[in-house]
Amino acid sequence: MTDRPAFRIQLDATRNLVRVSYVGRVTAADMAACAAEIAASLPAMRPGFIVVTDLSALESMELDCVAHLTRIMDLSKAHGIGTVVRVIPDPAKDIGFNILSIVHYRRGVKIVTCETSAEAERALAS
């Protein structure tokens, strides 16, 4: 067991940017805590905000995380998300983000998937 958190959330209200990084083995309880923290943070964001989701340090994510992940997506959509930039260096670690996005974001949300953090930063700059 580790004391290291399974996720980290960074808000940059000036840039209208939310960064979420997942680390190690993420459980449903971890994802529930992440969803609660994001829900509390979203009111600080303006419509059109950007979410960067980084799976670079992810080892695994329990299938039971999906319900909490979809809650995060639905909350983000309700608060006016404009763009999602995902860092997924290993496609095997994607537990269905792309498929869930089709259902929960539908039209109007730009999705960019990158293999590296550097590629994600370039996507943010453009």
Q: pLDDT tens digits for the chain (126 residues)? A: 456 689 999 999 999 999 999 999 999 999 999 999 999 999 999 999 999 999 999 998 998 999 999 999 999 999 999 999 999 998 877 777 777 777 777 778 999 999 999 999 999 998
pTM across the whole model: 0.88
- In the three-class reduction of DSSP (H, G, I as helix; E, B as strand; rest coil), residue 58 is classed as strand
Q: Which fold has domain 7-125?
A: Transcription Regulator spoIIAA (3.30.750)
The C-alpha atoms of residue 103 and residue 119 are separated, in whole angstroms, by 26
* Structural domain spans, the chain: 7-125
CA dihedral 23, 28, 34, 37 (to 10 degrees): -160
Residue 71, token pair as written in the block = 């809650």
pLDDT at position 2 is 52
pLDDT reported for residue 14: 94
